[in-house]
Chain A
Amino acid sequence: MSLDGYVNDRDGSAAHLYPDMDALHESDGLQESMENTGAVVMGRRSYDMAQGDYTGYEYQVPIFVVTHNSPETVAKGENDKLKFNFVTAGVERAIEQAKSAAGDKQVTVIGGADVIQQLLRAGLVDELEVLIMPILLGGGTRLFGDDAGDALIKLDKVAVSDMAGGTNLRFRVMKNGA
């Protein structure tokens, strides 16, 4: 996200935010995430951002898309590892299914902002990773939207690293009573 909290600008573009996509893809952080991920969860808008083509997608694992309606045609790029599953029963169900598909590996939630917010508030996130890019966007879609409730969520920083020109922060989400 940008320093002022946006994951894309007013036109819905993340191009200003990540000027060097190759550097991002080649970063140790993403490589490590790819290795450790057993399943991916994303919202419908995030899914649609690839415009129907997941050929060569970085996460070659089962993908669970949270949506109200399953699409009529499924995006290109499926193979024996990458399979799309459309979950219409909500984020919690998507996480359940992704967990069982991931086995010993982690479930990585790609976004969007609303899915992440719902999961955080439902106490379903173990770790939160935020890449802060050196830019102010001035407007757009926030990662952390307004009125997400007033329960304070404490975080415990696990690591700080440089990633693709930005600062990557990894946190453990402290559960109630922990």
Chain B
Amino acid sequence: MGKVILDMSMSLDGYIATADGKDGGLNDWYFSPPEKSKAIVDEMMRDLGVIIMGRKTFDEGDAHNAFDDSPFKIPHFILTHRPRETKDSNGSSYTFVTDGIESALKQAQAVVKDGFYIAIGGGARVAQQYLEAGLVDEIQIHQVHVLFGSGVRLFGDSGMEATPLERVRVIDSRGVTHLKYRIVK
């Protein structure tokens, strides 16, 4: 069983995209990491075993050819209502799952190698669904030091009960704070 980690970049005021759908610099730390963020990027490259994401997140990346030669040579599962053929590209695979979050996770668990983790990589709705279903083990927020004022929120008013967390680590990097928590079950 791989650990399931919700892993997302978010502004201090809780947004994962601006109102017009742009990333607003939220992923700059990943593309040109400041010194202390390098360990986070290295850890992802080393330990990330499977990525689960929503269709919109996939399509946005795909539109920029982000998956043609992804550095993550691992299985990806994409939640969608519109089926599509599995795509293989330079060692990465992209499987489209139409029967829900639990099925996608089950498929991810079936292929994840020992010692690797499964990342829930967004969007917000997919992240919320996994959280509400109690299927997430850890939350890693790359909190970027900016206020958007409006946009797409990661955490909505969900009807979820108060859920205590246990802080795993805080990495105080430049322009971003990497916060990691374990969900207390």
Q: List A residues at the B interface (Cβ < 8 Å).
A: 3-5, 9, 16, 120-121, 130, 132, 134-139, 142-144, 146-157, 160, 167, 169, 171
Contact = CB atoms under 8 A, between A and B. Distances in A.
A5 B104 CA distance: 28
B177 A134 contact: no
Contact of B150 (A5, A135, A149): A149
Given A130-B12, A152-B147, A4 B177 contact: no
B127 to A, nearest CB: 11
Nearest to A120: B147
B23 interface: no
Nearest to A15: B162
B162 A134 contact: no
B157 A139 contact: yes
A148 B160 CA distance: 25
B172 A157 contact: yes
Interface in B161-185: 161-167, 170, 172, 174-175, 177, 179, 181
A150 to B, nearest CB: 5
B115 interface: no
B40 interface: no
A148 B165 contact: no
Which 6 residue pairs are nearest across A and B when measured between Cβ atoms? A138-B160, A144-B13, A4-B155, A134-B165, A148-B149, A153-B147
Nearest to B174: A157
B150 A155 contact: no
A155 B163 contact: no
A167 B145 contact: no
B160 A136 contact: yes
A169 B158 CA distance: 26
Nearest to B15: A144
Contacts of A121: 149
Nearest to A137: B162
B164 A138 contact: no
Interface of B: 12-14, 18-19, 24, 131, 139, 141, 143, 145-151, 153-155, 157-167, 170, 172, 174-175, 177, 179, 181
Most buried by B among A9, A134, A139, A155: A134
B163 A147 contact: no
Contacts of A16: 162
A141 to B, nearest CB: 11
Nearest to B154: A4
Contacts of B179: 3, 132, 167
Contacts of B166: 134
Given A5-B14, A136-B131, A136-B160, A169 B155 contact: no
Given A130-B12, A152-B18, A167-B179, 13 more contacts: A3-B165, A135-B163, A138-B163, A146-B150, A146-B153, A147-B150, A149-B150, A150-B150, A152-B24, A152-B147, A155-B146, A167-B167, A169-B143
B10 to A, nearest CB: 9
A19 to B, nearest CB: 9
A69 to B, nearest CB: 29
26 contacts: A3-B155, A3-B179, A135-B165, A136-B131, A136-B165, A138-B158, A138-B159, A138-B161, A138-B163, A144-B12, A148-B147, A148-B150, A150-B148, A151-B149, A152-B24, A152-B147, A152-B148, A153-B146, A153-B147, A155-B12, A160-B172, A160-B177, A167-B170, A169-B177, A171-B12, A171-B145
